[in-house]
Amino acid sequence: MLKINNLHASIDDKSILKGLNIEVKAGEVHAIMGPNGAGKSTLANIVAGKEEYDVTEGVIELNGEDISELAPEERAHNGVFLSFQYPVEIPGVSVTNFIKTAINETRKAKGLEDMPAKDMLKMIREKSELLEIDRKFLSRSLNEGFSGGEKKRNEIFQMAMLEPKLAILDETDSGLDIDALRIVANGVNKLKSKDNAVIVITHYQRLLEYIVPDFVHVLHDGKIVKTGDASLALELEAKGYDWIKKEVNS
């Protein structure tokens, strides 16, 4: 699904990723953990195609195709989805209108007609039930005045609607209370299939109790320095990151 080889990237001449490698196969869940400033969000933004980063070296392949030169919307059309850490507000644009536009623009890029209103409605109904979203919520302006939990739930709702191949969840657990966390995690689990893959970026092991990863990677100083199974997350939770930093430096 996703294959990143020797990725180097910087912003304003400050080097952030320094030779990162990762391979994610269809049907897998990967967790990326690491201390603040390790480059976790940078990685998510670069895969999604944010332009302010300079990719100086390396290859990003999605299903065997190099996507480094593609615009963010083209990557989205190819099935990349990013659940934002800080979703932006768009006043006056309802959640429904926004997702409808997103779906139809993606269909247009694939040469398909707009989704019939009847199908759209059915899908919205299904997915909002899955995430326990109130109907009234859908008519509100996108993220305007949303609580932290509502914003994150809305991100996962959009993911459910867009049915991406590769979903990257950037600190989706931050700002969530335990109930919201459970709902969001349940949603992600139900959307998981053998044809798609999920990358979970998080600080804490808490989310991983609900979304159980096949692999856990530790990102430190722009590189993946350790990879293990779900038990690695528990170890990190208990011991912190210092021992890894020491291990790397020795």
Is residue 124 at the binding interface for other proteins, with CB under 8 A as the rule? no
One-letter identity of residue 245: K
Is residue 50 at the binding interface for other proteins, with CB under 8 A as the rule? yes
Q: Cβ closer to other proteins: 78 or 205?
A: 78
Distance between CA 40 and CA 42 in Å, rounded? 5
Is residue 70 at the binding interface for other proteins, with CB under 8 A as the rule? no
The residues, any chain, with a CB within 8 Å of residue 194's CB and separated by 6 or more, are 26, 27
Is residue 11 at the binding interface for other proteins, with CB under 8 A as the rule? no
Q: What is the closest distance, in whole angstroms, from the C-beta atom of residue 73 to other proteins in the complex?
A: 5
Distance between CA 233 and CA 44 in Å, rounded? 19
CA nearest to 112, candidates 103, 122, 121, 120: 103
CA nearest to 50, candidates 226, 168, 136: 168
Q: Can you read off the two tokens belonging to residue 122?
A: 């059915």
Identified binder of other proteins from the candidate list 11, 123, 130, 162, rule CB under 8 A: 162
Q: Cβ closer to other proteins: 31 or 47?
A: 47
Identified binder of other proteins from the candidate list 41, 85, 106, 205, rule CB under 8 A: 106
- Which H or E run includes 157? helix 148-162
Identified binder of other proteins from the candidate list 49, 187, 213, 222, rule CB under 8 A: 49
Distance between CA 145 and CA 91 in Å, rounded? 10
Is residue 81 at the binding interface for other proteins, with CB under 8 A as the rule? yes
Q: What is the closest distance, in whole angstroms, from the C-beta atom of residue 155 to other proteins in the complex?
A: 10
Report the 10 Å Cβ neighbour count for 194.
9
Distance between CA 67 and CA 148 in Å, rounded? 32
Identified binder of other proteins from the candidate list 23, 57, 73, 129, rule CB under 8 A: 73
Please choose, out of 11-19, 102-110, 175-183, 191-199, the segment that lies near other proteins by the rule CB under 8 A.
102-110
Please choose, out of 61-69, 99-107, 183-191, 198-206, the segment that lies near other proteins by the rule CB under 8 A.
99-107
Q: Can you read off the two tokens belonging to residue 167?
A: 């979903």
Is residue 146 at the binding interface for other proteins, with CB under 8 A as the rule? no
Say how far residue 131 (Cα) sits from the centre of its chain: 17
Q: What is the closest distance, in whole angstroms, from the C-beta atom of residue 106 to other proteins in the complex?
A: 4
Q: Can you read off the two tokens belonging to residue 170?
A: 């950037």
Please choose, out of 7-15, 53-61, 87-95, 189-197, the segment that lies near other proteins by the rule CB under 8 A.
87-95
- The residues that touch other proteins, with contacts defined as CB under 8 A, are 48-52, 71-73, 75-77, 80-82, 84, 87-88, 90-93, 97-99, 101-103, 105-106, 109, 141, 158, 162
